[in-house]
Structure 1
């Protein structure tokens, strides 16, 4: 996904800041209004104001293009030392960086602030599937990978595909190219593939297929989270079943590379306060998100490890060289 990154003239910002001095606080959502990045900016920005992290409402700037690449290029090229801007990010951001989809830009050109919630991945089979557990499904793949296909709502090499590859890798099956994956247009179409018997299993985010789980059309064999999801307490985690695998479509932020350590610490502290707030707990409950909090140095370390893993698997399947 290569594109030419253009400079954007941004509108006047509202007066806000992390310090006592007047400064502009802005959140860039790298997509049009209504999507996940826009949701993250607006919800977190509102809570930051409500709990006093910033004195005035945060301005949200929508900057769509290249799957987040236009915003990334803008921040790297023009806002490298701006301590008053945060940028919404998710698993899609790090996946695209790992696969060099941002025209040669790299993850170390920004600082990774943190994640404070996410949409857990899930593996489901049809209600009448012979596979009753994750172990049975994994064993079937190991025995004959060409006969056990997975459907997902992302293209080959996308996050849904990578969930399957990372799961199988951690289960001891390293022949990534042998795993059969069918990428379709969204979770609903992927569910149709599995319910109709065209694939053995489906992988997606739990929020997008929760209705199918509740209706009984599919049976979830694993949720790819640290712990069971409150809304679906009967679905065991992969970790419970012996595979140390967490795949959450996290919601978080990065900030410009050259801000000071003191400013980074202020943003980290503010994000921790949001994550611990009653307001954010309600947002997660209302929107089907699960707790997933990594902030500051812990998150930066995790991002580096995550990108390295995605690059390894992407090379194995030929997405990158």
Structure 2
């Protein structure tokens, strides 16, 4: 690149050098497949988690940041930017357009927010890097709750007030409760929280009757016996030993299942080299013991995709979500 700038400096006025040099960089980015200059972060990279610490998104973001850091050799710090059911973090991330030294731990809110709120972005505003896998939810109540199954919960909600915690208005848990209302005639009052961990605290404190959480967010409480699962909002039972005895909602006559994806995205407008750099690091992470541990510790389905394949998944899932949300 320094030689190109030298040639340009000899051919044009000093005032034009910056513009032409930037153009040359852009051409290098577009032609990375034919041997252009490779991308390398110049400093530390920041991973934004658009939800509060302690929840599933935070767990995913920190695991992914550590995995990509190991794979790339670049320092990656994590910053929680909660608020607006994820809208604050995503909106701040939008402002980093073209800056490949930022990443974001993404999930279904990427699709749900533009369908339910007035925001300046949709999934096409960003660069998909890696889909880590799929995360279904468990419907969980306190250990001393009178409800023993999701059928009990649905039937009770038709005649009495049942309060459900949701981690943001656009989260997977709210989608699950909405589907239960549409398909089973349930009726829930909702109390919003900023993360699954806060929702769990609300359940244990008696502020709500039921929560819908990812298994990785509730494993400790399940093992301690302070909560009990009513059903899994999944297509089939989990294979993990600690969850395999939990029936699906469908087994109880409630045909509801919806997966939340976990992934990582980069800002829009980054170079092809930068996109490929992070995809290569993501593939290395997916082949590591750290990735396997994350998936197994959080009891997820390891359905991985990268780049354009991840983008195709987002397009398809967005159409599905439009149907669910009646958009």
With the length of structure 1 as denominator, give the TM-score of the two structures: 0.66
Is residue 223 of structure 2 the alignment partner of residue 210 of structure 1? no
Tell me which residue corresponds to 2:258.
246
Match of 1:164 in 2: 177
Contact kept, 8 Å, 2:41 with 2:74, in 1: the verdict is no
* Residue 217 of structure 1: how far off its partner (Å): 4.8
Query: Cα distance 1:193–1:212, how it changes in 2: closer, same or farther (>3 A)?
Result: same
Counterpart-to-counterpart distance in 2, 1:34 and 1:126: 22
Change in Cα spacing, 1:95 to 1:59, as seen in structure 2 (3 Å) is same
**2:188 equivalent among 143, 166, 180:** 180
| Runs of 5+ unmatched residues, structure 2 | 1-35, 194-198
Alpha-carbon distance in structure 1 between the residues aligned to 2:288 and 2:54: 23
State the alpha-carbon separation in 2 of the partners of residues 59 and 278 from structure 1.
Answer: 19
Find the partner of 2:300 among 275, 281, 290: 290
CA distance in structure 1 between the partners assigned to 2:139 and 2:61 by the alignment? 29
Per-residue deviation, residues 218-256 of structure 1 (Å, max 9, x unmatched) = 4323223465162323223446667361334x4321123
* Worse-matched range after superposition: 105-114 or 263-272: 263-272
Paired residues of 2:166 and 2:192 also in contact (CA < 8 A): yes
Checking the alignment, whether the CA contact within 8 Å between 2:137 and 2:234 is kept in structure 1 is yes
Kindly indicate whether residue 273 of structure 2 is the aligned counterpart of residue 257 of structure 1: no
Match of 1:112 among 122, 128, 151: 128
Residues 248-284 of structure 1: per-residue CA shift (max 9 Å, x gap): 4x43211233345665455334323322321222244
- Change in 2 beyond 3 A, CA 1:62/1:134: closer
Instruction: State the distance in 2 between where 1:119 and 1:314 align.
Output: 19
Tell me if 1:44 matches 2:53: no
> Offset of 1:161 from its aligned partner?
2.3
Alignment coverage as a number of residue pairs: 279
- Between structures 1 and 2, the one with greater helix share: 2
Structure 1 counterpart of 2:230: 221
Q: In structure 2, what is the Cα distance between the partners aligned to 1:203 and 1:260?
A: 39
Equivalent-residue separation in structure 1 for 2:100 and 2:315 (angstroms): 22
Q: Structure 1 unaligned runs (5+)?
A: 1-18, 317-321
For the pair shown, the structure with the greater C-alpha radius of gyration is 2
1:89 corresponds to 2:101 = no
TM-score by length of 2: 0.65
Of 74, 86, 98, 1:57 maps to: 74
